[in-house]
């Protein structure tokens, strides 16, 4: 692959890569081979809303390679730039695919989730992508004063890839805050991935995923926890999108 950067689209202040999964995987691996270090994240409607009201978080995302996650961001691509994204690259599907299709062996560390969940997710990754080594795992319920020690412990195990599941915006801020001290080549904010891989939370049936409605299934399973994020949050995202379209926002930074 050439060193030409993949195209991006501005989605209400966050630059999102417009690529297929194959192109994104090839790009990440080519950049790693050149010695580049990568912070990788995903933008969905919820993350976009967080970035819209938190300038500091939006600045953090400027330092990440951001992939598109979900139908909301795809709609935004069409409204703001006249074209949908080439493929839905949500972290739950893209991250395992990236690990599976990356043949060069890597050491992987998993950070986040409830106690024991990261370890179970690591076991599943080892089954899906046996070319890699699970270097270690640690839960996400730690205090701020423990963070420096956790970074030291991660570095001691020499992972190449760090998967961080601390939720938005915590995982991206953790990666950004500690990236200079971390010695991995790739750090990825993976959201609920560990819960899905470990089996603690079930994925939506294929029929829901095929029509990009996995959020409806998740809302039905956990209405008390997710109703604000999906019902209020999705409405807020659409209002922000209409406002951005009216102002002509996004097109100025599109590449």
What does the pLDDT read at residue 249?
47
pLDDT of residue 206: 64
Vertex 21 angle, CA 172 and 38, to 5° = 35
Let me know if 65 is exposed, middle or buried by CB neighbors in 10 A (0-12, 13-18, 19+). buried
- Beta strand extents in the chain (DSSP E only): 8-11, 14-17, 38-43, 65-68, 107-112, 133-138, 161-165, 186-189
Predicted pLDDT of residue 20: 98
The per-residue pLDDT for 138 is 98
Q: Is the CB of residue 229 less than 8 Å from the CB of residue 129?
A: no
Instruction: Evaluate whether 168 touches 191 at the Cβ level (below 8 Å).
Output: yes
Q: What is the pLDDT of residue 96?
A: 97
Distance CA 110, CA 118 (A): 6
Residue 253: what pLDDT?
47
Q: 197: closest CA among 129, 117, 99?
A: 117
Closest to 31 measured CA to CA, from 4, 57, 68, 12: 4
Q: What are the backbone angles phi and psi of residue 192, rounded to the nearest 5°? A: -90, 15
pLDDT at res. 1? 39
Asked if the bond preceding 169 is cis, omega within 30° of 0, the reply is yes
Per-residue pLDDT of the chain (255 residues; tens, 9 = 90+): 345 689 999 999 999 999 999 999 999 999 999 999 999 999 999 999 999 999 999 999 999 999 999 999 999 999 999 999 999 999 999 999 999 999 999 999 999 999 999 999 999 999 999 999 999 999 999 999 999 999 999 999 999 999 999 999 999 999 999 999 999 999 999 999 999 999 988 665 665 566 566 655 555 566 666 546 666 778 899 999 999 998 874 444 444
Rounded to whole angstroms, how far apart are CA atoms 161 and 146? 21
Provide the β-strand partners of residue 41: 66
Quickly count: other Cβ atoms within 10 Å of residue 210's Cβ.
10
Q: Residue 125 and residue 121: Cα distance in Å, rounded?
A: 6
Q: How far is CA 107 from CA 130, 132, 155, in A?
A: 11, 6, 11
Quote the pLDDT of residue 110.
98
């Amino acid at each position: 692959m050439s060193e030409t950067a993949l195209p991006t689209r501005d989605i209400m202040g966050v630059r999102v890569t417009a690529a297929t999964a194959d192109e994104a995987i090839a790009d990440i691996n080519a950049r790693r081979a050149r010695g580049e270090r990568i912070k990788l994240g995903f933008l969905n409607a919820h993350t976009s809303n967080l970035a819209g009201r938190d300038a500091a978080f939006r600045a953090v995302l400027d330092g990440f390679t951001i992939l598109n996650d979900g139908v909301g961001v795809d709609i935004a691509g069409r409204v703001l730039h006249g074209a949908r994204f080439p493929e839905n690259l949500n972290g739950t599907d893209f991250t395992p695919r990236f690990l599976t299709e990356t043949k060069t062996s890597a050491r992987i560390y998993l950070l986040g989730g409830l106690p024991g969940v990261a370890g179970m997710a690591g076991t599943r990754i080892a089954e899906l992508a046996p070319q890699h080594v699970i270097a270690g795992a640690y839960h996400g319920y730690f205090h701020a004063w423990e963070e420096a020690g956790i970074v030291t412990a991660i570095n001691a195990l020499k992972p190449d890839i760090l998967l961080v599941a601390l939720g938005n915006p915590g995982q991206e801020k953790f990666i950004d805050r500690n990236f200079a001290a971390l010695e991995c080549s790739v750090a990825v904010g993976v959201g609920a991935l560990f819960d899905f891989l470990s089996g603690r939370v079930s994925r939506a049936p294929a029929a829901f995923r095929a029509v990009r409605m996995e959020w409806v299934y998740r809302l039905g399973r956990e209405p008390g926890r997710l109703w604000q994020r999906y019902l209020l949050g999705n409405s807020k995202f659409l209002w922000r999108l209409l406002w951005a379209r009216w102002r002509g926002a996004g097109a100025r930074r599109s590449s």
